Every structure is written in C-alpha cells, then in structure tokens.
Chains A and B, each alone.
Chain A
C-alpha cells in the first residue's frame, strides 16, 4: 500500500532519500553556519604567521600546508553552501593563483555579519543589495588606494618584481628563501622516435632463405647508420627524442659520439625547444643548420640520489628557467612547490596589471574606514549592510595579529587611529608587533589579487544568501571508500 498514505507536500512527490530544506531558518541560516565553520578552518592559515594544517585525504596522502586552496580542495567539502565558497576560492586560484584564503575568509566573514543582520530583521534581499553597493564602492576605493606610479613596471627589473612577490610567497613559507636558479652543445630534437622507420600499413619482410635475412638486416643497419651519420655530420652533439630510441640507433649514436636524451612529456619537449631554440623535427632525417638548437652545456649530475640532466644556456635569448626545489621531506617539497607556483602566478598576474596596494592590512583598514563613512550617507536599510561589510574588513588585521600572537584589538584600534590621522599606509609589522608605514617595510599586495578576491567573495556570499530552498537528492551509490584507518592502529 505505497500510495495510500501519501504525505502532503513535497515530501510525497520526490524519490526516497532526498532532503528538502527551505525558509530562512532552515536554509539561509544553516548555510551561513556551514560557511562559518569552513572559514574557521581556513582563517587561521591567513598571512605569513598562519598556522599549518595537516590533512590526510582519501588516498591517505598527508598534506602539511597553509595554502587555503589546497586545504579546501583536500577537505572534500560536502555541504552545498560551503561548497559555493570553495568554488569561489578555486575560481580565485585559477584566475590569479593566489588569494584563495582571503576569498574564503572574507566571504565567511561577510556571511557571518549577514547572519547578525538577518537576526536584526533584515531580509536577505536587502542585505544583498547593500553588499552589492558596498562592493562597487570598494572597487572604486581600491582604485584610489593604488600606489602611485606602480602602473608602469619593468617586469624584468628584479627589485620591483621581488617587492611585489614577497607578500604572496612569504604567506606560504615565511623565512625561507627561495633560490630561484636560472638553469637552462648543438641539439637536435625529434618528436618522433629515433628508430627505423615503419609504414602505417602493415609491412611484411619477404624472406626466402637465410642469405636474404642476413642481407635484410645489413641494409637495415646501413640505413640507420646513414641517418645517424648525417645527423652527426650536421654538427649536432645531442639528440633529443620524444619517443623510444631503438637499440640499434642507440648503438650508432654511441659510435658517433652523440648524446641521446629521451623526453617523453610533450610539454617538456616544447620547453626544451624553447630553451635551446631548436625546431622539433618529426622524422628522422638530417637536420638543417636552422633547425639545430644551442645550449652552453649539457651535463648529467646527481642531486640527492636522482640523476638529472642540466642543460645550461647562459647566453642571451634564454627563455626558460627551471627552479630546483630541495627539501628534506616530501610534504615540505610539495608545499614549497605550491609557494613557488603562487609566486609564479603572481608574476603572471603582475605582467597583466602591475598596480600595487599597501599590504599588511593597511588597505583593509583604509577600506573599512572609508566604507563606513560611505554607509552613513546611504539612506534606507542598505546602510546596515554596508556598515557590516565595512566591518568585515577588520577581519584581515585581526587574523594577522591573532596569528602572530599579538593583541588584535589593540592593533586594530591603533591602526584606525593612524589612518584617521592621515597615515593611510600604516599596516602591521608582525615581527615587531607594532604599526608601521608599509612603504618602509616594503610589503605590497597586487591590486588584481585583491580585486578578484573581494569580488569573488562577495559574489559567493550573495549567492549563498539568495538561496532559500535546497533540494538534495539521495547521494549516489558507488563503491564505498575504505574507512580511514584509526590513528592508533599500526
């Protein structure tokens, strides 16, 4: 008797196992709560003194990091609303490559403030309109705060680049210097394999007696030798192959004193071509002098048990650099890699837009101060939302101070005092625990990073606020994952 007792409403309509949440209390506030929990995790990792998280993912891989993008990625967030925040963080990571933590933490903060507003009796739609106004104003203010003269930057000037990168990299690995080493004989590059050629159609060697077999092998050999000789004659010293190198070809390479490298990754091959200026050849044929590349030296060295081939090209025209990362454990190496990645991404973003803002929470405090002034001028209920939005910016100095073990309230109040006195570039010096002018400390943030982070955060928060009903279907089956092994067990 399945449908005798049809319950009324949506419960009766849907498949078993689904969940339906609706209304302010059930959907909106619960969503906010979930987002808050997520930010509680990420916020302690913000800034140079942020704490590390130890995460073991479903594959039992251990991550020790304070990179928010990695944290939320490995957490496998299930709650749909919190997931929106995670997605915003990911979008930021893809767009800029840095600032994911700011995105998530800020979104969480404005949601938390939205909750207070909802409890005060404001409707989510009013909060959304207030927040939208606030973010538009923030973008305007942000542009005003841009450090003068920073639009034009020489991307090759090391000093300027380093000053911009410091903030991004140091928040991941404070106190450890990255050694950026520009690591970069005539070289031939073949994308195809270095081996005897073959037809696409199946070939059969027609052999009737032993003599013929011997003869065939001989001609084959002669052919390969001829080719390799031609390559060697063209002046090449190193042969790089994208695919397998035949035994016989290897033998002749040895005889003609050619060095053979096998690079199976297509991208690595391309990078190699960039470094040496070689043109990748498709077929094994004698190369033109134009197609040859050049490198100062190619050597095989042993670094920590692994054999690496170093191709050096210190002459002008070097377009590729490699970074060799060294660390004692895998997790340190992983984290280092992410830090370098962030640095490189910042550099990339910098090439697009090199404007910078004062770092170390100076910008945030200034934004908070100016937005508050703006909110007083606003009529209507929006002004509450704008004021709360402004207040949310205090989160950044607060966390920076907290993470550095300083008294947050004291720092914030003295920051406000300094800013009100007109010193708009005063931020926190976490090492000494005092407020200082950041232009002396040389801590700068990129304008684009802030811009996208704040925008994505607000977008995500507004999306969460807009949802008033959640319909969740039953989680799909699929193979059950192994239960994580207990910590105490061996």
Chain B
C-alpha cells in the first residue's frame, strides 16, 4: 500500500471498508437514540464516572454525556449538537435521519451504485424538500398579542418528548408565559432574562413561574426582616465595605488615641455611603407601610449591614450581575453605580419580598412586581436528577416558543410533514429528474419516513401497518399524522401537534450534507503518533 511507504505506522481503511465503517457507526448511533424519539420514548439512565445519575430522554443531553469515541459517530454527534445550538431541539431526529439515510444508501451501494450519484440525488431532494416546507408550513401571525393557544401547543409538543405527560402540560403553560413576559416589541427575545432557579424541595409538579425574581441567597444579618410588603427596591453596584487603597499606604501613629481616630476615619467613608441610602429610605418610606430593600452587586461589610438593619432596611449583598439586569427589568427603577444624588426615581417596586430557608440554603423571593419584563421559573424536585431533567426540558421549551415567535410559522407534527414530503418527492420531484439521480431522491424520500416509523415503533405499534395507512391517507389528499396511542391516522391540526419550522428546516439542511460527506469518504487514515501509547 502506498501509504505504508510514506508512514509505516499509519493505519488505513479503504474503499468499502471505510464506507461500511461510516455506515455502521451512523446506524449504531441511530440504534441508541432511536428509542428516545417522541412522547412514548423511553428514558435512559446515564451513570457518570463518579457514580452520579442522570436520567434523560433528550437526545442532546445523551450525546453530550455519552463518551463517544468512534470518529464517525463523533462527527454525527457534533452535527446534532450544532442542531441543538441553533434551534434548541431536533437532535434525536437529526441522528436517526442521518442513520436512516446511510442505511438506505447502503442498500443501493451494495447493488453497485456509486456514492457520488446518490449524493447528487440527495442534493436535489434537499432543495425540493426545503421548497416544499415553505409551502407546507402554517403561518401564525404574531402581533402585539400572540395567540397563546398555538404557542402552548408548540411548547407541549416539544416538552412531551422530554418529560412525562402531566408535567409537560404544566410546564408548557409556564414556558409560554415566561417567554411572553420577557418579550418586548421590536426587540429580539433574550431568553437569559428568564431566570431558571431550582430548589431541592417537594415534587416536580410544584415547579412554577414567578413573575419577579428569586435570588439564591438571603440577607446576611439576623435582625433583618424575613418578609416585607410594599417594598422599594434599590438596585446598586456600590461597594459598601472598606476598600484598600491602590497604593501601598500605611498609618503611622504613636498613641492609642491616634489609632482610634484613624480607625474611625477609615470607616467614615463607607458609613457616609450607607447614610445616604438610609436618608433616601427615610424620604420614601415615611408612612411606615412601605419597606426598603437594597440589593447590591458588591459586598456590604458587617458594620454597614448593622447600620442598615437598624434603619429597617433589608440588604442583600453580592447579587449575580445578570440578576441585577433582571431586577431592573422586573421591578423597574435603574441600577445605580454611585449613591450620590439618589432620587426616588431610581427605585424599583415589588409587592412582596420574602426569604425562604431550605436546609442550609437561603432564597429571597421578589414577587408581585408591576409590569415585569423578567421572570423566574422555579424548578422544584425531590432530587438532583429530576431537577436536571426538568431544567433541560425547560430550556428546550423556551427555545421552541422563541422559535415560533420568530418564525411566525409552525409545521404540522406527528410525522405528517415527513409523509407529505415523501409523497411530494416521489410523485412530483422524481419525475423531473433524468437518470440515476432519481435513485438518490428515492433514498432520501424513504429515509424521511424514519420519523413516523420510529414513533410507531416506540409506541409498540406495527410499523408497516402504520406507514401504509398514513401513506394511503396522504395519497387521498388528507394531511395526517400518527396517533401514538391508537396507531390510527389523526389530523395534527386538530390535536394541536405542531413542530418548529426552524427546527425542521435545520434538520433538512444539515442532514444531507453530513450524510453526503460520510458517503464520499473512501479512505480512513489514522497516522501520526499516539502520544499516550509508547509504540
């Protein structure tokens, strides 16, 4: 072999061996992820190196957590993870679609077809499918007040594939309200403005949306109030503790009195700042019914805390920077960087501020705010793996709502799109193409069916029966999807099963590309020195 001449240590696989290695890896990965797809997918338990448990149904999490070593599988996994990064969902679909495309190609290649021809067909099919998707999608108008029902359906479709039904339905309400809360007209949606907080407490169904904020720390002074109503909120980034001077300074004194005065002088600077805050408090809270809360990004030292506590102010120190942004959005007011010239305009307002202690952890709730543009999803669950599972699901749910708002379109789910697209490819597109590229289109069209097939398989239905009945309905011009409870065709529109347009588009865009690349590999070479193994 020529490569041996160049580098005697290199390993090489060529021609069909290379191709089959790729196909096998793609199929292997498909087998692993297949059972995840759809609402009836099963849960996988991942046990990490340290014995930590993770339960997941989400393809993305699974791919990230599994330590994949096979180079081809890594390549597919990366595409799938990229899919998640851009659209937040559809990882499992990507992987099984790639696997199926490779499987279909294998059949033709074994019959003597050249991969290049198949790839040409894929390209045509891809373009045709994308065009078809444009016509197939359902427009949704997202004006000032979007249709909540549609959004909820989209959210539910996504969440049901990650969690069990009852919880998913509850969460879909939460995510829709959360996204609508942070949405501002004319601005892109910033999902970071939805704070996701978790408490290990009670049950997963106690997860709720808080219009306001939850901070994961409490006030540090025992005499501060635990609960306050009608609160003015000062959001600031001012250091209320003694800061060392930049230059190397020292005090020189010769008597204890001198030292005492220096000690007080040192404190005065900080005390003055605190007094300014107290002054503002006295100005706005003259009626004794309202309270004053200071949330500081920097530190507050014990003497200052003590002063504030005596003035009846609740003070929280070292808040997260992102929470400062959220606070202003949730409560109003502005974040101040200096305590000079404080006016009541800088203050935000919240109806209720209270502290919740859970074992060692303290949480501060800022609730009942007016007109919030930031909110918190408080996840509860009895143990860490439940919380992690919900967290991943909520992230995807939020993304799917955001996608819908941005796309202003949805795609009928439950496999309806895939069956319809196949029909379109076989009946219309294939005839317009001359020659062998037709085979590529056919392979692509058949591979599309993997989604309804897998859905049926996971629900314990007969795959062939389901596909045939779906095909027949589509042949008669009805657009139907699969009812995974009964195996009968249903109208996804009626059932409220909608997928994201951008997710589907991304899948169709990326899958043929990666599959083509894998098919066109004819040599796999491992050269270079392995640093770990001494040869």
Residues of A bordering B, CB below 8 Å: 1-4, 6, 8-10, 12-16, 18, 27, 78, 80-81, 83-84, 87-88, 90-91, 94-95, 123, 125, 191-192, 196-207, 212, 215-216, 219-220, 222-223, 270, 273, 279-280, 282-283, 455-456, 459, 463, 466-476
In angstroms, how far is the closest chain B Cβ from the Cβ of A41? 19
Is B67 at the interface (CB under 8 A from chain A)? yes
- Note all chain A residues with C-beta closer than 8 A to B284: none
Given the interface pairs A4-B13, A466-B42, the reply to whether A95 lies near B201 with Cβ below 8 Å is yes
Is B203 a contact partner of A199 (Cβ separation < 8 A)? no
- Note all chain A residues with C-beta closer than 8 A to B65: 471
Chain B residue nearest to A464 (CB atoms) is B45
Q: Which residues in chain B, 505-526, are within 8 Å of chain A measured between CB atoms? A: 524, 526
Is A282 a contact partner of B256 (Cβ separation < 8 A)? no
Q: Name the contact of A223 in the complex, choosing from B66, B249, B256, B386 (C-beta under 8 A).
A: B256
- Note all chain B residues with C-beta closer than 8 A to A2: 11, 526
Between A and B, 9 residue pairs with Cβ closer than 8 Å are: A6-B70, A13-B68, A13-B69, A94-B359, A201-B244, A206-B253, A270-B222, A469-B45, A472-B46
Distance between Cα atoms of A279 and B48 in the complex (Å): 49
Is A199 a contact partner of B266 (Cβ separation < 8 A)? yes
Of B125-133, B138-146, B257-265, the segment with at least 4 beta carbons within 8 Å of chain A is B257-265
Given the interface pairs A10-B28, A13-B29, A204-B250, the reply to whether A198 lies near B53 with Cβ below 8 Å is no
Q: Name the contact of B382 in the complex, choosing from A12, A91, A205 (C-beta under 8 A).
A: A91
Is B43 a contact partner of A466 (Cβ separation < 8 A)? yes
Is A468 a contact partner of B53 (Cβ separation < 8 A)? no
Given the interface pairs A216-B256, A467-B45, the reply to whether A203 lies near B68 with Cβ below 8 Å is no
- Nearest 3 pairs of A and B residues by beta carbon: A476-B49, A91-B382, A219-B256
- Note all chain B residues with C-beta closer than 8 A to A282: 302-303, 306
In angstroms, how far is the closest chain B Cβ from the Cβ of A73? 14
Is A273 a contact partner of B254 (Cβ separation < 8 A)? no
Is A476 a contact partner of B24 (Cβ separation < 8 A)? no
Q: Name the contact of B222 in the complex, choosing from A83, A199, A215, A273 (C-beta under 8 A).
A: A273
Is A91 a contact partner of B256 (Cβ separation < 8 A)? no
In angstroms, how far is the closest chain A Cβ from the Cβ of B46? 5
**Chain B 44-71 near chain A by CB (<8 Å), digits 1 or 0:** 1111111101010000000001111111
Distance between Cα atoms of A123 and B458 in the complex (Å): 12
Chain B residue nearest to A465 (CB atoms) is B43
Chain B residue nearest to A279 (CB atoms) is B223
Distance between Cα atoms of A204 and B262 in the complex (Å): 12
Is B383 at the interface (CB under 8 A from chain A)? yes
Name the residue among A81, A199, A466 with the largest chain B CB count within 10 angstroms.
A199
Chain B residue nearest to A455 (CB atoms) is B203
Q: Name the contact of A468 in the complex, choosing from B42, B242, B255, B382 (C-beta under 8 A).
A: B42
Is A90 a contact partner of B383 (Cβ separation < 8 A)? yes
Distance between Cα atoms of A207 and B254 in the complex (Å): 6
- Note all chain A residues with C-beta closer than 8 A to B69: 13-16
Is B253 a contact partner of A12 (Cβ separation < 8 A)? no
In angstroms, how far is the closest chain B Cβ from the Cβ of A125? 8
Q: Name the contact of B68 in the complex, choosing from A3, A14, A81 (C-beta under 8 A).
A: A14
- Note all chain B residues with C-beta closer than 8 A to A16: 69
Residues of B bordering A, CB below 8 Å: 11, 13, 21, 24-25, 28-29, 31-32, 35, 40, 42-51, 53, 55, 65-71, 73, 164, 200-204, 222-223, 242, 244-245, 249-257, 259-260, 262-263, 266, 302-303, 306, 359, 382-386, 460, 524, 526
- Note all chain A residues with C-beta closer than 8 A to B302: 191-192, 282
- Note all chain A residues with C-beta closer than 8 A to B32: 10, 13, 469
Is B11 a contact partner of A13 (Cβ separation < 8 A)? no
- Note all chain B residues with C-beta closer than 8 A to A215: 254-255
- Note all chain A residues with C-beta closer than 8 A to B47: 80, 470-473
Main secondary structure of the interface of B (DSSP, over half): mixed
Is B250 a contact partner of A202 (Cβ separation < 8 A)? yes
Is B67 a contact partner of A6 (Cβ separation < 8 A)? no
Is A205 a contact partner of B45 (Cβ separation < 8 A)? no
Chain A residue nearest to B50 (CB atoms) is A476
In angstroms, how far is the closest chain A Cβ from the Cβ of B160? 14
Is A283 a contact partner of B266 (Cβ separation < 8 A)? no
- Note all chain B residues with C-beta closer than 8 A to A456: 382
Name the residue among A196, A205, A280, A470 with the largest chain B CB count within 10 angstroms.
A205
Distance between Cα atoms of A87 and B386 in the complex (Å): 11
Is B67 a contact partner of A470 (Cβ separation < 8 A)? no
Is A95 a contact partner of B202 (Cβ separation < 8 A)? yes
Q: A3-B11, A125-B40 are in contact. List 19 more A-B contacts (CB 8 A).
A: A1-B11, A3-B71, A3-B524, A13-B32, A13-B68, A14-B66, A84-B385, A199-B263, A199-B266, A200-B244, A201-B266, A203-B253, A204-B252, A223-B260, A270-B222, A282-B303, A469-B45, A470-B45, A471-B47
Q: Name the contact of B24 in the complex, choosing from A8, A125, A198, A459 (C-beta under 8 A).
A: A8
Q: Name the contact of A84 in the complex, choosing from B28, B42, B46, B53 (C-beta under 8 A).
A: B53
Distance between Cα atoms of A215 and B383 in the complex (Å): 64
Is A216 a contact partner of B255 (Cβ separation < 8 A)? yes
Distance between Cα atoms of A448 and B245 in the complex (Å): 56
Is A3 a contact partner of B222 (Cβ separation < 8 A)? no
In angstroms, how far is the closest chain B Cβ from the Cβ of A463? 7
Distance between Cα atoms of A469 and B45 in the complex (Å): 6
In angstroms, how far is the closest chain A Cβ from the Cβ of B157? 20
Is A201 a contact partner of B200 (Cβ separation < 8 A)? no
In angstroms, how far is the closest chain B Cβ from the Cβ of A147? 24
- Note all chain B residues with C-beta closer than 8 A to A280: 222
Distance between Cα atoms of A470 and B55 in the complex (Å): 9
Distance between Cα atoms of A472 and B73 in the complex (Å): 18
- Note all chain B residues with C-beta closer than 8 A to A10: 28, 31-32
In angstroms, how far is the closest chain B Cβ from the Cβ of A469? 4
Is A468 a contact partner of B303 (Cβ separation < 8 A)? no
Distance between Cα atoms of A475 and B47 in the complex (Å): 9
Is A475 a contact partner of B51 (Cβ separation < 8 A)? yes
Name the residue among B31, B40, B255 with the largest chain A CB count within 10 angstroms.
B255
- Note all chain A residues with C-beta closer than 8 A to B257: 219, 223
- Note all chain A residues with C-beta closer than 8 A to B35: 468-469
- Note all chain B residues with C-beta closer than 8 A to A470: 44-47
- Note all chain B residues with C-beta closer than 8 A to A473: 46-49, 66-67
Given the interface pairs A3-B11, A3-B21, A4-B13, the reply to whether A467 lies near B55 with Cβ below 8 Å is yes
Distance between Cα atoms of A270 and B256 in the complex (Å): 32
Chain A residue nearest to B460 (CB atoms) is A123
Q: Name the contact of A8 in the complex, choosing from B28, B251, B253, B385 (C-beta under 8 A).
A: B28
- Note all chain B residues with C-beta closer than 8 A to A219: 255-257
Is A9 a contact partner of B31 (Cβ separation < 8 A)? yes
Name the residue among B21, B48, B201 with the largest chain A CB count within 10 angstroms.
B48
- Note all chain A residues with C-beta closer than 8 A to B386: 463
Distance between Cα atoms of A205 and B258 in the complex (Å): 10
Distance between Cα atoms of A8 and B385 in the complex (Å): 31
Is A206 a contact partner of B254 (Cβ separation < 8 A)? yes
Is B303 a contact partner of A469 (Cβ separation < 8 A)? no
In angstroms, how far is the closest chain B Cβ from the Cβ of A139? 12
Given the interface pairs A3-B524, A9-B31, A203-B253, the reply to whether A83 lies near B53 with Cβ below 8 Å is yes
- Note all chain B residues with C-beta closer than 8 A to A78: 51
Distance between Cα atoms of A463 and B204 in the complex (Å): 12
- Note all chain A residues with C-beta closer than 8 A to B24: 6, 8, 12
In angstroms, how far is the closest chain A Cβ from the Cβ of B126? 27
Distance between Cα atoms of A70 and B250 in the complex (Å): 54
- Note all chain A residues with C-beta closer than 8 A to B31: 9-10
- Note all chain A residues with C-beta closer than 8 A to B251: 199, 201-204
Distance between Cα atoms of A169 and B30 in the complex (Å): 54
In angstroms, how far is the closest chain B Cβ from the Cβ of A288? 11
Name the residue among A3, A12, A212 with the largest chain B CB count within 10 angstroms.
A3
Distance between Cα atoms of A273 and B221 in the complex (Å): 13
- Note all chain A residues with C-beta closer than 8 A to B44: 467-471
In angstroms, how far is the closest chain B Cβ from the Cβ of A384? 18
